[in-house]
Every structure is written in C-alpha cells, then in structure tokens.
Structure 1
C-alpha cells in the first residue's frame, strides 16, 4: 500500500471515492458533480488530496484544505475528508493516510491540523483520539447555513 499525492490525472478514481464518501454522509450520489468539484480543487490548488494506492487501484483518500491561524500567524490544515473503501477498512489505511497528511502539514510549517466528524461516527472518533487529536473544549464552533 502506498500513498500518493493525487492530481488532475487521478480525477476519475478520486471522484468515485469522493462520491462514495458523500454517500456515507447521507448525500445523494452525483458522480458528475463530484468530478467537477474535485476538478476545480485540483485546477485552483484549493486543496491537497492524498490517495491510498493498492496495486494501481485507489482505495481511500483524505483531503486537506489550507487555512491560517491569525493568533499564531501560521498555516493550519483542515482535514476535511477521510474515506476508505469498505473492504479495505480496519487495515490501517486511514491511519496511513492521516500520517502522510500530518507529515505534509508539519513540512509546510503548519501549527496544527483540525478536523470534525459526526457525533455518531464513533469509529472515526476512536481513530482521531488514538492519534492524539483532542476534542476542543475551549471554543464553541458555529456554522451559518447559507443554502
């Protein structure tokens, strides 16, 4: 198993994974929209996508979005998406993807990686806590839905 930095040449395979990721979060399948969304990210350098490659087949991915901490005056990375195909789960692939993403963040001089998951996603929470991610109890996070 290797992890590669995905680019526009991986669009087809990563789009399938991204669509399945969205389905996991109860969104309707829309492969064309997924492809267009990722194409924009790749073309605009809006995110960084790492993909797990098993003998030429992409079986998982994580997507990081850049941000900044004004207080620390440093870069942060938002680990927004993490997905591994069902047959490949519980084989350390999510840990491997996270490890590569965290190393990338360190090399970029980032002060931290932040993420969020659904309250009901206990499996993900266990993974994050095992990797020393800490629930933030110092700040409330708010969201304003615009659509």
Structure 2
C-alpha cells in the first residue's frame, strides 16, 4: 500500500520495492506515517548514513491534506529521531524546481548545500 501511495505522489520516479528494501537495510531506518483512519496521508523515512549523518527521504503528504503543517511535523519527527540516534547533521535531496518543498525545508532550517543538474538525451 505504501509503494502505491508513494507512486501517486511521484509517478515519474516512484521509489519501488528494491530501493525501499535498500533503505530498510540501514540498521537505524525508521518511517513515520500520518494516518486519517486507516489511510496514510503523509509519510517520511529516516536513517543514519556513513559518518553518522542523518538522511531524510521520501517526505510526502497527499494532496487533499497539504498546507496543514503535516510535512513540517514529519520533518521535525525525523530530525528528532536522528538527533536521538546520535546524528549532528541531516541531509535530504529535493528537485531544484520544487519550490514548495524548497520553501518547506528552508522554513525548518535546512540550507541549500549545492544544486545538482542532471542531463538527459534521447538516442
């Protein structure tokens, strides 16, 4: 069910079962879900990477529940968890064109480290 919902949010780049399994291999991996009844309306994952750096991945809130502070809550929960696990810093990635996500991440204290460019060519 989670992968179906995640693909609803990012239909062009769904996480997929293999990558989810890869993330869950981290011994400190955790997920936080926000539910309304039995329905997942928002979620995020977090774990410690090499060097005790916290990683936050797959922050999403489904469309009808956006703009209610749920994503900010998920981020604070993930950051608190990572700090409790011994992390002194946290990283996440976002598309440079995703203005809403950039604004959200900056509002909780994240600063842009670098801008990644990916190139594509059909052959």
Same fold, judged at TM 0.5 (above) = yes
Alignment match of 1:49 (pick from 5, 24, 31): 31
1:79 aligned partner:
56
Where do 1:18-29 residues align within 5 Å?
A: 18-23=6-11, 26-27=12-13
Alignment coverage as a number of residue pairs:
117
CA drift of 1:34 comes to 2.9
Q: What is the deviation of 1:53?
A: 1.2
Q: Alignment partner for residue 105 of structure 1, among 82, 103, 107?
A: 82
Is contact 2:48-2:87 (8 Å) kept? no
CA shift for structure 1 position 134 = 1.0
Structure (1 or 2) with the greater strand fraction: 1
TM-score (norm 2): 0.78
Q: TM-score of the superposition, structure 1-length normalised?
A: 0.67
- Shift >4 Å, 4+ stretches: 140-143
- Cα gap change, 1:92/1:50 in structure 2, threshold over 3 Å: closer, same or farther? same
1:43 CA displacement: 6.4
Q: Distance in 2 between matches of 1:129 and 1:37?
A: 27
Tell me the SS of whatever aligns to 1:133.
coil
2:45 equivalent in structure 1 = 63
CA apart distance, 1:130: 0.7
- Superposed CA deviations along residues 52-102 of structure 1, whole A, max 9, x for unmatched, are 112221111112242133xxxxx1111121111000110111011111101
**Ranges in structure 2 where 5+ consecutive residues have no aligned partner:** 119-123
